């Protein structure tokens, strides 16, 4: 009896270590950098880290839904660019000064392409990697066509306030938007029937179909959520640079995927959570910020991110084998 309890306790400890290991690593990194750099431990720097990761964090939340179903979306970087030029076109030519119409039009476009991705993947059972790689090129090309390959400066004070304004004079609006979206995603993924269906499809698609789950609708919804997140992130990015540019968003999908994988999301689907993804994107932000404070070359930031992804995937494979 005692031996059985000991085995159970060890198993519980092992599961907890697997679940919270990434959080412990993040805490260790924060403590280490706080000792090395006095600037790092200031409240202003903490807010700066949150601001820097807000757009990619929103993308990572959307990517989480897609990856848990067993998919992936490589087109979100291009969606950022298309959002930017559509918003710019609306504010300069179609509906000058009407910010909300511009925002709705920009998000509608990313939702349209998100729906297209979801439709082709779920209806025809096409490989998500191939589909979204193709739409990545299509969307980027559309961004250059709409924007005519040029950058347009946007002088709207209301638009600029979205990316640079602060609540209570302290917390930037992008950080608040990021946290609100993360909270909504947590409720949707972990507390609703839809969330259970997302996990079921990623865990075993055939079993989900046999259980009566409408796989088509759920996968479509996951990619639409990704489209909404891409649109919001695109608006924030455009607001922060005060310009509509068809060449922005390059590599954004890498950070989103990296945050999910580092946070414990499996490429095979069925595994992942919002809290892990939040820790993953914060870890990337802390690494970038730390390297900047230590005056380490930006090239090494890219190398470090790649190594983190490889380590996270290796750990995922080892845990799945166990």
Residue-wise pLDDT tens digits, 276-306: 999 999 989 998 899 888 888 777 877 877 8
Which of 24-28, 58-62, 93-97, 161-165 has the largest mean confidence?
A: 58-62
Q: What's the rounded mean pLDDT across residues 227-250?
A: 95
- pLDDT of 20: 66
Residue 1 has pLDDT above 70, yes or no: no
Burial of 67 (C-beta count, 10 Å sphere; 0-12/13-18/19+): buried
Kindly report which listed range (67-71, 224-228, 316-320) carries the lowest average pLDDT score: 316-320
Using CA atoms, how far apart are residues 288 and 286, in angstroms rounded to an integer?
Answer: 6
Using CA atoms, how far apart are residues 302 and 290, in angstroms rounded to an integer?
Answer: 13
Q: What's the rounded mean pLDDT across residues 314-322?
A: 64
- pLDDT of 156: 86
Kindly report which listed range (8-22, 153-167, 291-305) carries the lowest average pLDDT score: 8-22
Q: What's the rounded mean pLDDT across residues 111-139?
A: 96
Q: Band of the pLDDT at 93, cuts 50, 70, 90?
A: confident
Higher pLDDT, 171 or 319: 171
Arithmetic mean of pLDDT over the chain: 89
Residue 16 has pLDDT above 70, yes or no: no
Bridge partners, residue 126, by sequence: none
pLDDT digits (tens, 9 = 90+) for 166-204: 988 889 999 999 999 999 999 999 999 999 999 999 999
Residue 140 has pLDDT above 70, yes or no: yes
Q: Which is nearest to 235 in space by CA: 224, 248, 216, 222?
A: 248
Tokens of 65: 């839904």
Higher pLDDT, 83 or 23: 83
Q: What's the rounded mean pLDDT across residues 233-255?
A: 94
Are 284 and 86 in contact, with CB atoms under 8 Å apart?
Answer: no
Residue 153 has pLDDT above 80, yes or no: yes
- pLDDT of 256: 95
The pairing of beta strand 166-167 with beta strand 171-172: antiparallel
Q: What's the rounded mean pLDDT across residues 219-246?
A: 96
Residue that the structure tokens 């412990």 belong to: 24
Residue 268 has pLDDT above 70, yes or no: yes
């Amino acid at each position: 009896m005692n031996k059985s309890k000991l085995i159970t306790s060890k198993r519980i400890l092992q599961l907890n270590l697997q679940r919270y290991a990434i959080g412990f690593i993040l805490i260790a990194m924060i403590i280490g950098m706080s000792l090395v750099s006095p600037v790092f431990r200031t409240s202003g720097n903490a807010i700066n880290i949150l601001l820097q990761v807000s757009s990619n964090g929103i993308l990572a939340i959307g990517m989480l839904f897609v990856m848990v179903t067993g998919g992936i979306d490589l087109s979100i970087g291009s969606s950022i660019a298309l959002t930017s030029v559509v918003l710019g076109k609306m504010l300069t030519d179609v509906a000058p000064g009407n910010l909300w119409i511009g925002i709705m039009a920009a998000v509608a476009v990313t939702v349209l392409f998100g729906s297209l991705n979801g439709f082709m993947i779920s209806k025809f059972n096409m490989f998500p990697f191939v589909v979204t790689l193709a739409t990545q090129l299509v969307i980027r090309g559309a961004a250059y066509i709409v924007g005519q390959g040029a950058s347009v400066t946007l002088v709207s004070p209301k638009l600029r306030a979205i990316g640079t304004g602060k609540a209570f004079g302290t917390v930037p609006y992008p950080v608040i938007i990021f946290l609100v979206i993360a909270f909504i995603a947590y409720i949707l993924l972990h507390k609703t029937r839809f969330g259970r269906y997302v996990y079921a499809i990623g865990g075993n698609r055939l079993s989900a179909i046999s259980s009566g789950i409408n796989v088509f609708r759920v996968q479509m919804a996951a990619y639409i959520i990704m489209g909404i997140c891409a649109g919001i992130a695109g608006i924030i990015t455009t607001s922060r640079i005060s310009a509509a540019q068809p060449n922005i968003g390059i590599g954004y999908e890498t950070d989103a995927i990296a945050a999910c994988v580092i946070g414990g999301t499996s490429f095979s689907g069925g595994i992942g959570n919002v809290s892990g993804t939040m820790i993953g994107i914060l870890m990337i932000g802390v690494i970038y910020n730390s390297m900047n404070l230590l005056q380490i070359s930006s090239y090494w930031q890219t190398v470090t991110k790649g190594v983190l992804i490889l380590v996270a995937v290796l750990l995922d494979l080892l845990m799945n084998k166990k």
